[in-house]
Amino acid sequence: MRGFGITCGSSSKTASTSHIFQGLTTQGWLVYRVFVDTFKASLDPSLYRLYRKYLYSRYKATEELSQGEVVHEEAKKRLLKMADKFRQNASYFDPGEQLAIRVNGVELKSPVGVAAGFDKNCDLLEPMSYVFGYLNPGSVLLAPRKGNPQNPKKGTVRLAMDEEREAIINAQGYPHKGLEYSVNNLKKFASGQRGPARILLNFSGITDVYSEDAVLDACKEIIVQTSPYVDLGFEENRTSPNTDFNKILQTPEFTKKIIDLMNTHIPGKLKASKIAPYGSLPPSEDEKQTRMELVKAFYENGGQAVVIGNTRPIDTKENPLTRNFSRPVAGESGRPLFPYMLKMVEDVHKAFPDLTIVACGGISSGQDAWQAYEKGATLVQLYTALTFHGFGLVREIQDTLKRMLGNETLEGYVDRRDSKFR
């Protein structure tokens, strides 16, 4: 899991109060948190930044997890304890009817979702269901998997935070607690208190047996066992740049096998495929053709949506932050990815105007989200930006979209935009 950082952030308070807390020590934070509601305090962006710094000063790397991963796990514990607060304040994240949008016949209250990787094991479904229009938990795997090895205390890591560029670089290799663990969490969520968010489950068939048949068998087991608890759809994922076997699976031929499997076992659910963004700008003709062939194979065989991935491969030896990675290639996510993702959205939309496009990668503001809509997006997703700006970013994006739409609904805008290409 990439480093998360904190609970929530927003611009609802004025910056004039922030000077009170700028000199706060770690001990001061501990005292402050006893007397002030963490949820309300974290709505102030200045307090958000301070609390994030506190977490990174408080929690360090262990023998098994890098610092960012440790902070993420600690933040998850806090989020779960705050589920009631999120439920009580759900109206803060409700954008109203203007941003409601239907995808595959399912209405989403907001087009803003949380991307895969944020909640790999379906631990955070309840608190997040009050914030987002849809959730993208996963990648869910069949068997428990530790991911790529590391020993941070001896200098070998698999995740680094790039604070200056607002990016996360990871070579985790699908760490996951296994299908049984995720199914239990999905069952609990389905039968308990929950917000209006729908679930688009991200899954990967990667196992310790590297063969196409093993991947397909694992995918089948995952979607069959989770489908009773998934109310929007499924997103198949072969895009991780730090799992070598994924490269073999990224062909039109295997794409057809995956969509045939999904058509057979989840016929009524939204079927989505995660596609890696461009690796260079402008993209080479070969790179563009390769991406479009994958999208075409998925779409023409029954796929209904693509998620433009939020990770771009980089050489770990060329970046000072990643020279202690054991893997030669890692995935970079966050703000630097935005132009690569945006170009991919534009090209996919021009080629397949009826395809639902989920823009995921580098969106850090409402203006970023609006640009994605101008290029052809139907939905947007966040992850890395949440680790730097907090959940108040969801509200900021919603407010910006409503302002840019004027008197138009988001669904009306998307229909009008797409009609030009039909």
The per-residue pLDDT for range 214-226, each reduced to its tens digit, is: 999 999 999 999 9
What's the whole-number mean pLDDT along residues 263-290? 95
**174: in domain:** yes
Mean of pLDDT values over 356-375: 97
Q: pLDDT tens across 185-200, in order?
A: 999 999 999 999 999 9
What domain count does the chain have? 1
Residue 46 has pLDDT above 80, yes or no: no
pLDDT at 38 over 90: no
Residue range 342-365, pLDDT digits in tens: 999 999 999 999 999 999 999 999
pLDDT tier, 2 (very low <50, low <70, confident <90, very high otherwise):
very low
Q: Which residue, among 323, 108, 81, has the nearest Cα to 195 in the 3D structure?
A: 108
262 touches 271 (CB < 8 A): yes
Q: Is 78 a domain residue?
A: no
* Contact between residue 315 and residue 294 where contact means Cβ atoms under 8 Å apart: no
Identify whether 84 is part of a domain. Answer: no
> Residue 224's pLDDT is what?
98
* pLDDT of 44 higher than 80: no
Is the pLDDT score of 98 beyond 80?
yes
* Position 326 pLDDT exceeds 60: yes
- Return the pLDDT at 419: 87
Q: Residue 295 and residue 284: Cα distance in Å, rounded? A: 17
In a domain, 61, yes or no: no
What token pair was written down for 284? 């080479």
97-117: b (≥16 Cβ within 10 Å) or e:
ebbbbebeeeebbbbbbbbbb
Q: What is the pLDDT of residue 135?
A: 98
Domain that holds residue 166: 95-419
- What is each CA distance from 251 to 15, 273, 312, in whole angstroms? 51, 13, 18
In the block, tokens 């989403």 appear at 108
* pLDDT on residue 387: 87
For residue 314, tell me if it sits in a domain: yes
- Residue 246: predicted pLDDT: 84
The answer to whether position 77 is within a domain reads: no
Q: What is the CATH number of the domain that holds 195?
A: 3.20.20.70
User: 169 phi and psi, to 5 degrees?
Assistant: -115, 125
Q: How confident is the model at residue 389 (pLDDT cuts 50, 70, 90)?
A: confident
pLDDT in tens, 199-216: 999 999 999 899 999 999
Query: Where residue 50 falls among pLDDT bands split at 50, 70, 90?
Result: confident
For residue 11, pLDDT over 80 is answered with no
Tokens standing for residue 287: 């790179």
Mean local confidence (pLDDT), 286-296: 96
pLDDT at residue 240, as a whole number: 80
Mean pLDDT score, 142-146: 95
Q: How far is residue 339's CA from residue 368's CA, in Å, rounded to a whole number?
A: 10
What angle do helix axes 45-58 and 67-81 make, rounded to 10 degrees? 120
Instruction: Spell out where 22-111 has E strands.
Output: 101-103, 106-108
Q: Per mean pLDDT, which range of 159-163, 173-177, 199-203, 246-250 is the poorest? A: 246-250
Distance CA 139, CA 116 (A): 6
How confident is the model over 77-95, as pLDDT tens digits? 988 988 998 999 999 999 9
Q: Are strands 305-308 and 112-114 parallel, antiparallel or unpaired?
A: unpaired
**Mean pLDDT score of the chain, rounded to an integer?**
89
Residue 381 inside a domain? The answer is yes
Q: In sequence order, what E strands does 163-245 have?
A: 167-170, 198-203, 233-237
Task: Look at residue 284 and tell me if it is in a domain.
Answer: yes
Q: Given pLDDT bands bounded at 50, 70 and 90, which one contains residue 39?
A: low
